[in-house]
Chains A and B, each alone.
Chain A
Amino acid sequence: MTTTTLPAYDDAVATFEPVIGLETHVELGTNTKMFCGCPTDFGGEPNTRVCPVCLGLPGSLPVANKAAIEATIRIGLALNCSIATWCRFARKNYFYPDMPKNFQISQYDEPLCVDGYLDVEVDGRTVRIGIERVHLEEDTGKTLHVGGATGRIHGATESLVDYNRAGIPLVEIVTKPVPGTGALAPEVARAYVTELRDILRGLGVSDVRMEEGSLRCDVNTSLNRPGEEWGTRTETKNVNSLRSVERAVRSEIIRQASVLEAGGRIVQETRHFSEETGDTRPGRSKEEATDYRYFPEPDLVPLAPDPAWVSALKAALPEPPRVHRKRLQESWGLSDLDMQSVVNAGAVELIEQTVAAGATAAAARKWWLGELARRANESGIELSAVGATPAQVAELQTLVDGGKLNDKLARVVLEGVVAGEGDPTAVMEARGLAVVSDTGALTAAVDAAIAANADVADKVRGGNLAAAGALIGAVMKTTKGQADAKAVRELILQRLGAN
């Protein structure tokens, strides 16, 4: 958030009330695709994870993946949804080469899960986000556009398609419109996606990596004046990080407000979020795009989840992230406010893992919310992507606790860790950063400092202990900061007979 946009944003939300809605796509972490046995791992040489079914070859027949159905039901249950007792897949027909069949198998008017909610906390307030539906479909292939500028579809002369991703189980989670959040709308959107991600991760149904596209988010935004009907909404795609979710809503609120203030109208359209500029641009106009001619998928029989199975899945759901966080907060002894800052920094899991790796909660929190959060902020990245692991942070703290590093040196070591130079111990040794613990060397440095500052030494001998600071400084200088200041002080006082 650049400071220049702040006044415009404040004006926008003072005049208009935003309504947001979120559509999230999650690639399930099943072993195989939705309707065939091809593997689903990320990456892989192009077109090596395909078979007649996901290539849509004539005569092939899809069969639904039981693990994907189960995962979707568990997601629905975790989001407090009702699970359909009977539902069907549907064909969504469209012409675009990312699906070789010219249709995508999806769900239309009979989603597997409906009508749930998710509570999120923003600014000390709980906002209930209604869940409209959770349905199951198949992901599309990846297209590479060639001949235009920097891989864009506009101006491309041809496209190259890799179908490895085509057919990977994809769950779509759609919220109901969320009104009434006012200026907090961008934060609510972010909090929702964060909470959803944590739930999905807790369920173990997806690796939920936004940067790899296994969790993708479309954000709907509209504005209306107080008391008036909801405005026309736009749908912003290409929102690929939690931070971008917040930025996208914010920039769209500012853009729509300026259009409306100028007497203009909002066009219902798809817009694309740009990570670089932080604003949204109109996407390709898709005339008649909604005419997908859905019809029940004839190649798949209906689903009728056994209520006993659903009950068993419900009983086996893991502890919800909110409850889990409450427990962590108590064991870490944090106030609500402190816990909130941990949550906002995206540090809950990182601290939890750092503690599991042997650090105290206080030390883990200090590193993640201090030095590392500062670096993440500066680079505009998520804390989890900052370049240090919980195990490394725990190791760093062990070195501090063992007297091998002082605080200042530890920060330098951390810098090396973040730069990819290795684990803390390795960085410390490679850079020669360990605290000078060799008493002989330290004593020599102290004696040299006393000799070079005889007048100061006299003051200390005379009982002016505060004057020792100058000597400590001199020793720290000769040891390049690699001494423990407390030990140096004691040694100085001892040599001068002043303690």
Chain B
Amino acid sequence: MAAISRDEVAHLARLSRLAVTEQELDTFAGQLDVILQAVARVGEVAAADIPPTSHSVPLTNVLREDVVINCLTREEALAGAPDVEEDRFRVPRILDEEA
């Protein structure tokens, strides 16, 4: 039984706004399945006494004082933008797919 279905891959591709061809769906479903199966093996050795781990470093409460730093200048901030208009990041229409 595959760990991830072709439909689920299509769903994820859509959520990630990736244009995936029918053929790629088959390829990625197979590849992701291998990855998930490998990760699932961790579950086989993790007994009830081992808490789920989201962070590999045993640290908590890394906090910063509420002190203002220098920001980027607007020119610096917008330097990497694909497009700029009125000092703002210009992005393509948002509701394209529903239009």
A residues within 8 Å of B by Cβ? Answer: 30-32, 36-39, 45-52, 55, 57, 63-69, 86, 88, 93, 95-97, 100, 143-147, 153-163, 284-285, 288, 291, 293, 296, 298, 300-306
User: Which chain B residue lies CB-closest to A35?
Assistant: B64
CA distance A36 to B66 in the complex (A): 9
Query: Which residue of A154, A155, A158, A298 is within 8 Å of B92 (Cβ)?
Result: A158
How many whole Å from A378's CB to the nearest CB in chain B? 38
**Number of B residues contacting the other chain (C-beta, 8 Å)?**
39
- B5 vs chain A, min Cβ distance (A): 15
B72 close to A51 (CB less than 8 A): yes
In the complex, besides A31-B68, A298-B55, 11 extra interface pairs with C-beta distance below 8 angstroms are A48-B73, A48-B77, A63-B63, A158-B92, A160-B90, A162-B89, A293-B15, A301-B55, A302-B54, A305-B61, A306-B61
Q: How far is the CA of A97 from the CA of B73 in the complex (A)?
A: 21
B69 within 8 Å of A (CB atoms)? yes
Question: Which 7 residue pairs are nearest across A and B when measured between Cβ atoms?
Answer: A37-B69, A67-B66, A160-B88, A296-B54, A66-B63, A304-B60, A63-B64
Task: State whether the Cβ of B35 lies closer than 8 Å to any Cβ in chain A.
Answer: no
Which residues on B sit within 8 Å (CB–CB) of A65? 63-64, 66
In chain A, what residue has the closest Cβ to B14?
A288
Q: Once the chains bind, are A47 and B74 in contact (CB under 8 Å)? A: yes
Task: Report the bound CA distance from A6 to B95 in whole Å.
Answer: 38
Residues from chain B with a CB closer than 8 A to the CB of A51 are: 69, 71-72
**Bound-complex Cα distance A57 to B65 (A):** 22
Do A160 and B85 touch (CB < 8 A)?
A: yes
For the complex, give the distance between the alpha carbons of A396 and B62 in Å.
53
On whether the beta carbons of B98 and A284 are closer than 8 Å, the reply is yes
Q: Pick the residue among B62, B71, B87 that contacts A38 (CB under 8 A).
A: B71
Which B residue's beta carbon lies closest to that of A295?
Answer: B54
Query: With contacts A64-B63, A158-B90 known, is A36 near B57, CB below 8 A?
Result: no
A63: B residues at CB distance < 8 A: 62-64
**Chain B interface main SS type:** loop
B68 engages A160 (CB within 8 Å): no
* A47, A52, A66, A95 pick with most chain B CB within 10 angstroms: A47
Asked if B91 CB lies within 8 Å of chain A CBs, one says yes
What is B's interface to A at a CB cutoff of 8 Å? Answer: 11, 14-17, 54-55, 57, 59-69, 71-74, 77-78, 80, 85-95, 98-99
| Alpha-carbon separation in the docked complex, A100 to B87 (Å) | 16
**CB nearest neighbor in B for A62:** B64
Bound Cα distance from A290 to B61, whole angstroms: 30
The 7 listed contacts between A and B (C-beta, < 8 Å) are A47-B89, A50-B72, A145-B94, A154-B95, A158-B85, A163-B89, A293-B15
Distance in Å: Cβ of A101 to nearest Cβ of chain B: 13
CB distance from B61 to the nearest CB of A (A): 6
Q: How far is the CA of A403 from the CA of B47 in the complex (A)?
A: 85
A-B contact count (CB 8 A): 141
Interface residue from B69, B91, B99 paired with A97 (Cβ < 8 Å): B91
- Contact in complex: B59, A159 (CB < 8 Å): no
**A100 to B16 alpha-carbon distance, docked (Å):** 14
Chain B residue with the shortest CB-CB distance to A63: B64
**Nearest CB in chain A to that of B55: its residue:** A301
Establish whether residues A161 and B87, one from each chain, have CB atoms under 8 Å apart when the complex forms: no
- Minimum CB–CB distance for A129 against chain B, Å: 30
Given A88-B54, A97-B94, A159-B94, also A39-B63 (CB < 8 A): no
The answer for the CA separation of A155 and B67 in the assembled complex, in Å, is 42
Give CA–CA (A50, B77) in the complex, Å.
7
* A160 close to B61 (CB less than 8 A): no
The CA-CA distance from A298 to B11 in the complex, in Å, is 24
- Does B87 lie within 8 Å of A298, measured CB to CB? no
Which residues does chain B contribute within 8 Å of A47, judged by CB atoms? 74, 77-78, 87-89
Q: Knowing A63-B62, A65-B66, A159-B93 are in contact, say whether A46-B86 is a contact too (CB < 8 A).
A: yes
Q: Taking A160-B88, A161-B91 as contacts, is the C-beta distance between A48 and B64 under 8 angstroms? A: no
CB atoms of A304 and B72 under 8 A apart? no
Bound CA span A120–B91, Å: 44
Nearest CB on B from A203, distance (A): 16
- B57: chain A residues within 8 A (beta carbon): 301
Which of A284, A301, A306 contacts B95 (CB under 8 A)? A284
Alpha-carbon separation in the docked complex, A68 to B67 (Å): 12
A86 touches B60 (CB 8 A): yes
Q: B95 contacts which chain A residues (CB < 8 A)?
A: 153-154, 156, 284
User: How far is B66's CA from A30's CA once the two chains are assembled, in angstroms?
Assistant: 7
Complex CA distance for A1 and B71, rounded to whole angstroms: 47
Contact A37 B64 (CB under 8 A): yes
Report yes or no: B89 in contact with A97, Cβ–Cβ below 8 A.
Answer: yes
Given contacts A69-B63, A153-B94, A303-B61, contact A50 B71 (CB under 8 A): yes
Contact among A37, A97, A285, A291 with B67 in the assembled complex (CB-CB below 8 Å): A37
| Nearest CB of B to A29, in Å | 10
Question: Shortest distance in angstroms between A499's beta carbon and chain B's nearest beta carbon?
Answer: 71
